């Protein structure tokens, strides 16, 4: 129970940080202060909170679980590709979004799109699609809170209570502290995990008798494949580099880009972001793989046996039996189990708190959705004029309460698997929305109709993939079931893990076609007025060529 007590103390500290931020912001109750911390974040808080925003429950629990099942490929798929794409995106896109936000007073990406492409309702369509993709993250965060507290307390804290505690804590500091509270909490959480994560690696390594011995032993046995990347095809590996593009289109990341006090703040973030990724992901993935050697932990041994039974006897089993074995083999808690086995109680508690920190990264999504609703719907459709600027903050806070309560109720009633799946679709969706941002910032000729075409295509394509995977059952094992073939070339394949289009993950064709739809529709329609294009493009070009400023 001691780790659970430490986690509860940690939750109290987090709530205090948020409320402290609220007290620090008294007298500055405007929308820009609540939603963007007054565009005043310094370099350290900006780096740690931006990184913390991207570090979700999946980063910690999901990555070690994925590595437990699939081996070291997890790092190459999810971390090292992000180490190139995300800081590069912050360098190219984040800096420009920041400058435009500061110049024009934008608080959300949709405000930028509306102004840049001279549109109103098309912006609302983009808002709706972004919001639909964002909601599953919030629900999965509440579910993760319930599951983690339940697990850390050894089952003494029921799922419903764990979810409620996490929901209330997150809601409190987002409600009171807004972006300032969220940023400070994220900074606190990321620092905590970076420090204690390193300690956990050392302690678990020592407890397992050294990683060298464990790795050598794995190489000699049937699990040696987990130390290679043969479990995925090179095309799948290549496809995965498109997934981090989603981070550039996430509203919560773009909104975070607007919080920096100065452009200089991006420098340290761009350079140090890959190092932070290394510090978090390498231990999680490595420990997840090494957990396969921790057969002295009964729960881990049971997972390995379930996985082996599934591989050996899967085709002959009933669907219910297979489902049961899959649930038994689910590995998102291997890190917690390793900590319980090898770490002293106080460290297990602190690491449990760090894991809770990652689970609670849903705070940024709640705030982003609240910001988007307030600015893109309430204020845009006359709320600001009718009720005054102070009503914006009140609306934002009311939305924070509303969305948290709805997410909690859904988390109590719906199976987690549905939303875990929805989050995976959302990654594809946001990656495919990335061309909108690139076009808005770099292509003067792009138009609102191009933006609408890309948005509708993305929504339809992601829905089509979801429907396809719901209708066509996955094969039990092997290369996959070919559904569409042309001249001997497999076009569409249902694989055990999802869908393949020409051997690639759907995110590749969906993103490329999104860019194509945007380009073609833009070229077929009238561009924004010359005045608008000059406002967005002339100053930068003149200044870059040395003729201005």
Non-local CB neighbours of 124 within 8 Å, separated by 6+ positions:
110, 376, 377, 380
Q: At what angle do helices 121-152 and 109-117 cross, to 10 degrees?
A: 170
Q: Are 165 and 145 in contact (CB under 8 A)?
A: yes
Q: Is 512 in the site for another protein (CB under 8 A)?
A: no
- Select 263 or 524, whichever has its Cβ closest to another protein: 263
- Residue with Cβ nearer another protein (271 or 327): 271
The SS3 of residue 268 is helix
Q: With binding defined as CB under 8 A, does residue 539 bind another protein? A: yes
| Distance in Å, CB of 269 to another protein, minimum | 9
> How near is the Cβ of 97 to another protein at its closest, in Å?
10
The answer to whether 343 contacts another protein (rule: CB under 8 A) is: no
Measured distance CA(63)–CA(210) in Å, rounded: 22
Q: Which of residues 124-163 bind another protein (CB under 8 A)?
A: none
Q: 81 to 110, contacts with another protein by CB under 8 A?
A: 81, 83-84, 87-88, 91, 95-96, 98-100, 102-105
Least distance from C-beta 70 to another protein, angstroms?
Answer: 12
Q: How many CB atoms lie within 10 A of CB 342?
A: 19
C-alpha–C-alpha distance, residues 379 and 383, integer Å: 5
Cβ 245 to another protein shortest distance, Å: 12
Neighbours of 27 (CB within 10 A): 6
Angle at 138 between CA 133 and CA 142, to 5 degrees: 150
**Beta carbon nearer to another protein, 73 or 403:** 73
Tokens of 158: 């029921």
* H/E segment holding residue 150: helix 121-152
Question: Which region among 9-17, 26-34, 209-217, 394-402 touches another protein (by CB under 8 A)?
Answer: 209-217
The nearer residue to another protein, 482 or 542, going by C-beta atoms, is 542
* Smallest distance from another protein to CB 443, Å: 17
Distance of closest approach, residue 84 Cβ to another protein, in angstroms = 5
C-alpha 420/C-alpha 239 separation (Å) is: 20
Helix and strand numbers, DSSP H then E, in the chain: 27, 3
Q: Which of residues 214-273 bind another protein (CB under 8 A)?
A: 214-216, 219, 224, 227-230, 234, 237-238, 241, 262-264, 267, 270-273
Regarding 442 and contact with another protein (CB under 8 A), the answer is no
CB of 240 to another protein, least distance (A): 10
Question: 30: Cβ–Cβ under 8 A, 6 or more apart, which residues?
Answer: 389, 393
CB of 218 to another protein, least distance (A): 8
Is residue 72 involved in binding another protein (CB under 8 A)?
A: yes
Give me the residues paired with residue 490 across strands.
485
Count interface residues toward another protein (CB under 8 A).
Answer: 59
Long-range contacts (CB closer than 8 Å, 24 or more residues apart) made by 37-41? 37/178, 37/179, 37/180, 37/183, 37/259, 38/180, 39/101, 39/102, 39/258, 39/259, 39/260, 39/261, 40/259, 40/261, 41/183, 41/259, 41/260, 41/261, 41/265
By the rule CB under 8 A, 535 interacts with another protein: yes
- For position 282 contacting another protein by CB under 8 A, the verdict is yes
Unique residue bearing structure tokens 């219910």: 320
Q: Does 308 bind another protein (CB under 8 A)?
A: no
Alpha carbon distance 494, 475 (integer Å): 7
**Distance separating alpha carbons of residues 290 and 484, to the nearest angstrom:** 39
The DSSP secondary-structure symbol of 529 reads P
Interface mask toward another protein for 163-202; x: CB under 8 A: ----------------------------------------
Piece of 127-135, 205-213, 294-302, 509-517 that binds another protein (CB under 8 A): 205-213
8 A C-beta contact, residue 141 and residue 56: yes
Give 228 or 323: the residue with its C-beta nearer to another protein. Answer: 228
Q: For residues 518 and 121, give the distance between their C-alpha atoms in angstroms, rounded to a whole number.
A: 17
Shortest distance in whole angstroms from residue 17 CB to another protein:
29
Cβ closest to another protein, residue 328 vs residue 540: 540
Q: Residue numbers of the site for another protein (CB under 8 A)?
A: 72-73, 75-76, 79-81, 83-84, 87-88, 91, 95-96, 98-100, 102-105, 115, 210-212, 214-216, 219, 224, 227-230, 234, 237-238, 241, 262-264, 267, 270-275, 277-278, 282, 285-286, 535, 539-540, 543-544, 549
């Amino acid at each position: 129970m001691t780790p659970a007590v430490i986690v509860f103390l940690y939750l109290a500290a987090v709530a205090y940080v948020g409320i402290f931020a609220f007290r620090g912001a008294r007298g500055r109750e405007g929308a820009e202060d609540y939603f963007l911390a007054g565009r005043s974040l310094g370099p350290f808080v900006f780096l740690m909170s931006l990184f913390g925003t991207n570090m979700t429950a999946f980063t910690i629990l999901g990555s070690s679980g994925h590595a437990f099942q699939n081996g070291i490929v997890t790092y190459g798929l999810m971390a090292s590709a992000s180490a190139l794409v995300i800081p590069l995106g912050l360098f190219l896109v984040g800096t420009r979004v920041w400058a435009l936000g500061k110049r024009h007073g934008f608080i959300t990406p949709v405000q930028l799109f509306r102004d840049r492409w001279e549109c109103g309702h098309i912006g609302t369509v983009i808002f709706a699609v972004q919001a639909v993709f964002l909601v599953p993250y919030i629900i999965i965060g509440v579910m993760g809170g319930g599951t983690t507290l339940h697990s850390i307390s050894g089952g003494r804290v029921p799922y419903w209570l764990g979810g409620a505690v996490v929901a209330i804590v997150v809601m409190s500091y987002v409600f009171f502290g807004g972006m300032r509270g969220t940023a400070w909490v994220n900074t606190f959480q990321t620092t905590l995990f970076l420090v204690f994560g390193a300690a956990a690696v050392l302690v678990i390594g020592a407890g397992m008798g050294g990683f060298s011995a464990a790795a050598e032993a794995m190489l000699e046995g049937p699990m040696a494949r987990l130390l290679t990347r043969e479990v995925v095809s090179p095309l799948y590996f290549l496809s995965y580099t498109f997934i981090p593009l989603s981070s550039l289109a996430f509203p919560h990341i773009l909104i975070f880009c607007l919080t920096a006090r100065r452009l200089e703040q991006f420098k340290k973030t761009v350079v140090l972001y890959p190092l932070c990724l290394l510090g978090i992901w390498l231990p999680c993935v490595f420990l997840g793989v090494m957990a396969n050697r921790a057969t002295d932990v009964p729960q881990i041994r049971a997972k390995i046996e379930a996985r082996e039974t599934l591989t050996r006897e899967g085709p002959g089993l009933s669907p219910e039996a297979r489902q049961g074995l899959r649930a038994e083999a689910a590995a998102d808690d291997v890190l917690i189990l390793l900590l319980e086995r090898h770490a002293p109680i106080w460290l297990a508690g602190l690491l449990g708190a760090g894991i809770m920190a990652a689970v609670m990264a849903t705070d940024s999504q709640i705030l982003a959705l609240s910001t988007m609703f307030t600015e893109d719907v309430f204020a845009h459709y006359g709320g600001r004029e009718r009720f005054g600027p102070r009503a914006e903050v009140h609306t934002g806070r009311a939305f924070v309460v509303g969305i948290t309560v709805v997410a909690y109720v859904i988390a109590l009633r719906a199976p987690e698997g549905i939303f875990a799946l929805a989050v995976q679709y959302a990654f594809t969706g946001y990656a495919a929305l990335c061309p909108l941002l690139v076009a808005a910032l770099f292509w003067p000729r792009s138009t609102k109709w191009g933006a609408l075409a890309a948005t509708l295509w993305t929504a339809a394509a992601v829905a089509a993939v979801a429907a396809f995977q719901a209708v066509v059952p996955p094969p039990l094992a092997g290369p996959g079931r070919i559904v569409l073939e042309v001249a001997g070339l497999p076009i569409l394949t249902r694989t055990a893990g999802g869908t393949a289009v020409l051997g690639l993950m759907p995110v590749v064709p969906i993103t490329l076609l999104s860019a194509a739809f945007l380009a073609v529709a833009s070229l077929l329609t009238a561009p924004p007025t010359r005045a608008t294009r000059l406002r967005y493009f002339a100053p930068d070009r003149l200044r870059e060529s040395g003729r201005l400023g």
